Amino acid sequence: MCARELEKTDAEIHAVIGTRPKLMRPPGGALFERQEGWIHDEFGYKTILWDVHGFDWVRPPPSPASICERIVEKTRPGAVIVCHDVRPETIEAVPAILSQLEKKHFKFVTVSELLQLGAAVPSTPERK
């Protein structure tokens, strides 16, 4: 992750929504502590990782049912879930994920809302 990528993304987000981002998720969760400090100092971003991953990026892609099963099984109160909306299997899995988590009485909020609730944000991403 380099300054040029962050500057470009920051500018594009600002152009679309009229405000600058305050949070960021590094691709793959790969970020050294030194980088995290530099990104915070330079851009003011708080780094957000995740607790639960559907592993929807692997090849061959998992089925929508297996993505759903993994996410529903691993999700706990306050969890941050990461999915990739460029995968048709993930898009297909989302309605079932939401439905099953609602049946377990989960409430869905943005990461910003989660932080306001005082929930801990994961410092290391979930691995297989």
**Cα separation of 46 and 93, whole Å?**
29
Per this entry, what is the length of the chain?
128
β-bridge mates for residue 53, sequence order: 82
CB 82 within 8 A of CB 48: no
Q: Which pLDDT does position 71 carry in this prediction?
A: 96
**Cα separation of 26 and 36, whole Å?**
9
pLDDT, average across residues 42-70? 91
pTM: 0.79
Q: Which CATH code, of 3.20.130.10, 3.40.50.300, 3.40.140.10, 3.20.20.370, is assigned to 50-122? A: 3.20.20.370
Q: Which pLDDT does position 29 carry in this prediction?
A: 85
CB 57 within 8 A of CB 87: yes
Q: Is the pLDDT of residue 119 over 80?
A: no
Q: Is the pLDDT of residue 25 over 70?
A: yes
Domain definitions of the chain by residue range = 1-49, 50-122
Q: What is the mean pLDDT of the chain?
A: 88
Q: How confident is the model at residue 41 (pLDDT cuts 50, 70, 90)?
A: very high
